[in-house]
Structure 1
């Protein structure tokens, strides 16, 4: 039976790997890396650098494949079907990789940014592939340090306050309204900077981009004062690199409610 490891590799710093992740890396024969195109080629290089930092050279193979394009323009009722189509296209790629590149007595691995359980599709794609029944394999999941944990650590703060809840959501959801009953909100996958609509409220923001990498950028402070700076930093970074990965914590002050 082929074995697949889904390994959380943290937000980008090779030193953030857990001991369990390092053991999983060292037991892997073939690493599957999805290439998102020339603009994001440094994401592939970061994975290679991580492997070189923790595994003896020549003890593994790296197989790259092009990640299917996703319909980023789909919204409303079309959003979920578009994501489903993209996951199925990914399952096609996974199926080919496992069937053609992994021997029946070998182990393969997918390296997942942050934690595989938080806004990542790898587990769902593997489950869809298992449901097809075309390529038998077993898999396990190794948790990783998420960008959320790395963000608050870099800002030297916590996710929640005493006895208070914290909610993790997306930019798409935040644009629909600030979550009710929650004062601490972590926002991921925000391509349109939805935080701007709350700049007139008494809210602090803790923002970070490329967290854990040499390109890391941090900004924090009252949202009304910090939002313009974040917009500028974000635009400059995107122009320089061609892509951006960022996340942030919004902290609403009780006196402002």
Structure 2
């Protein structure tokens, strides 16, 4: 024991600046493990590498500092991947549960369409019908699952849900936005159909999201499209001049507005098509 202790005192441990440089040089080693999927976690891995290396200096044998730090960096990178795998496993379970229970769950009624119905029993039945329609119109099942999981499982906490699903917060917000807008249009179109309304342009516009529905620009934009001759005739140049929006914005608005108007039209004419 005395000889071992004495040999440890002869080891020249790196100072903090030297250790910090070694950690920075371990960036390539960490990146090779993380790959493109986990590239955003590189800074966190390097921070954890610094902490681990500093706390483990008592185990450093005094040789090949860079190789030693590289090994630590690779282990911390693997920790990130393994953690993501565990979260993904749990998230698959959460998404399955939230998707399977939505028909009897009132927690899905977010602020965007919280006033859809007043009676709770009727709400449960109507939500089931509503979401069956929404799933039919949103072809990407992952969008539905992620939006449902965000709202029902994570209480609309985007930061927590994004980490659990290992996707970006922007991508998750996009899923929720698409889901909510489609749900609003479907619910309003179903209501209009139940009242025997015909799919006139005014009725279709009334089915679109309004203030507080995560797409308040849609109704105004479709009104501008109608003023320019309708979706079949209005070109992007006309819409840019009328709305004052850029080319890319107008193109994106037109694509989404047309998709939602077609959803409303489909729901409003569904019974007629089935009868014929």
**Would you call these one fold, judging by a TM-score over 0.5?**
no
Say which structure is richer in strand.
1
Say which structure is richer in helix.
2
Higher relative contact order (CA 8 A, sep 6+): 1
Query: TM-score band, normalised by the shorter chain?
Result: under 0.3
